[in-house]
Amino acid sequence: MLFEHRALEVKPPEGIGPARPANKLVWRAALSSAMVAGLLAAVGTSIPIVPLAVLCMFASGGLAVTLYRRRSGYRTVTPWMGAKLGLLAGSWGFGMLAILSAFRLFASNERTELRTAFREKLAEATATTADPAVHQAMEQFQGYIATDHGLVIMVLFFLAVAAVFFVIFSALGGALGAAIFGRDAARKE
């Protein structure tokens, strides 16, 4: 056919077209928001102050919700969606902390400092009890962490515990952040 008519595919501009359901995440915005919030959690937890570390985990979930709302066009975020964002931020944060911990284990001076810290904590714990069985167990444990294998196992154990804390506190922070900051409000323009 000499004059064949082809229909041109025209895409509507951004924001026009089928609307996303209100309770679905925009994954591009969710991933980038969670990554930035996870960075906050990883940096905050690398400081060895436990209340600050927990606060940073909790805050990363709320920050993920706030960043997500901005990046997705101020969508309403339900507490369940906030918990998902917090979970994602906590996972990113834990991943970054795990990588940082792995690098620290490869440095011999860091391993020495880590062993010293473990020994000091064990000495403090041993000093508070008079039970000879506890003293014997602590001495065996000190011998265990004196080896590289034992130290790696201990770090992996603490990372597993940290993973649980990251997930729980970040998800709670995301749910709370969504409950507080996740609704559409009449914005002044």
> Residue 21 domain-assigned?
no
Burial 53-69 (b: 16+ CB within 10 A, else e): bebbbbbbbbbbbbbbb
Please check whether residue 20 lies inside any domain of the structure: no
Tens digits of per-residue pLDDT, 138-153?
888 778 777 878 888 8
Residue 153 lies in a domain: yes
Q: What is the pLDDT of residue 175?
A: 93
Which residue is it, tokens 């507080």? 180
In a domain, 16, yes or no: no
Which residues in the chain show pLDDT less than 70? 1-23, 184-189
Cβ-contact 82, 65 below 8 angstroms: yes
What pLDDT, on the 0 to 100 scale, is given for residue 46?
82
Q: Which domain holds residue 120?
A: 27-181
